[in-house]
Amino acid sequence: MKMLSIDSSGKTAAAAVTDSDQLLAQSFTDSGFTHSQTLLPMVDSTLKIAGIDITEIEEFAVTSGPGSFTGLRIGVALVMGLAGDRLCRPVPSLEALAYNFVSCNSIIIPVMDARRQQVYTSIFESNGKKLCRLMPDQAVSVQDVCDRIRQYSANRHVFLLGDGMYLFEDIAGQIENLSFADGKKIYTQGLGVALASQNVTPVRAHEIKINYLRMSQAERELKEKQNK
């Protein structure tokens, strides 16, 4: 089954074309929050590298949150426009990110910057082949994540990854069995979206729901005004 997988949940963007378990092509860009300008051209170039026409794609996968409110909407809107009546798989962003370390027998903690000294996070355990979710996606404080890292690193190696890693610079080198991701492994890759999609029930494009986890800044400010 030929699938196009897309991520625009953070400051980076990624795409991949797979055929069953085979990766045909993937692309990645770190150009800031300019997904409205870069995502469609990247998808087009990834399809060309794979030698696949968009009409040959049988299913789509897209990260559906948590993450950047604008980025998520752009990615989902693009898939809705491309898919037509074909099936789509809305993929949890943090799970797609965690698949960067699925080959490691370890605890994997993805952290995405949620601003206000909070991160979107979850916890996964890998046996080297598959991921097992240990915690639902949450928006929590940096201190809360530090406490969880210390808890799990007492018995297992822990990998920390995601664009929220800079918030944890103070504990780098201080906790045994903790490693920080580097290079492209910090960010979600198209293949990770494809792999995580295997755990998701496909839906029609118009049925995709974005999991924001929190209200947007505009919604928070409106609520604060209403409560005054």
207: tokens are 């049925």
Q: How many CB atoms lie within 10 A of CB 174?
A: 9
Q: List the one residue out of 30, 32, 7, 24 whose CA is nearest residue 100.
A: 7
pLDDT in tens, 108-158: 999 999 998 999 999 999 999 999 999 999 999 999 999 999 999 999 999
What is the Cα 157 distance to its own chain's centre?
A: 22
Domains in the chain: ranges and CATH? 2-94+188-221 (3.30.420.40), 100-186 (3.30.420.40)
10 Å CB burial of residue 143 (0-12, 13-18, 19+) is: exposed
Mean local confidence (pLDDT), 86-104: 98
C-alpha to C-alpha distance for 178 and 221, rounded to whole angstroms:
37
Q: List the one residue out of 23, 10, 32, 12 whose CA is nearest residue 50.
A: 23
Q: List the one residue out of 120, 129, 133, 97 whose CA is nearest residue 213.
A: 120
* pLDDT value of residue 214: 79
Percent of the chain with pLDDT over 90: 89
Strand (E) positions, 30-104?
59-63, 87-91
| Beta carbons within 8 Å of 23's beta carbon, 6+ residues apart | 16, 17, 191, 194
SS3 content of the chain, % helix, strand, coil (to 5): 40, 30, 30
What is the Cα 196 distance to its own chain's centre?
A: 9
* pLDDT value of residue 12: 95
166: tokens are 């800079």
Q: Judge whether 216 and 51 are in contact, CB under 8 Å.
A: no
* pLDDT value of residue 221: 47
One-letter amino acid of 218:
A
124: tokens are 């996964």
Mean pLDDT of the chain: 93
DSSP codes joined into one string, 172-191: TTTSTTEEE--GGGGS--HH
pLDDT in tens, 35-71: 999 999 999 999 999 999 999 999 999 999 999 999 9
What element of type H or E holds 70?
A: helix 69-83
pLDDT in tens, 168-193: 999 988 999 999 999 999 999 999 99
Please tell me the pTM assigned to this model.
0.93
* pLDDT value of residue 67: 96
User: Residue 227: is its pLDDT beyond 60?
Assistant: no
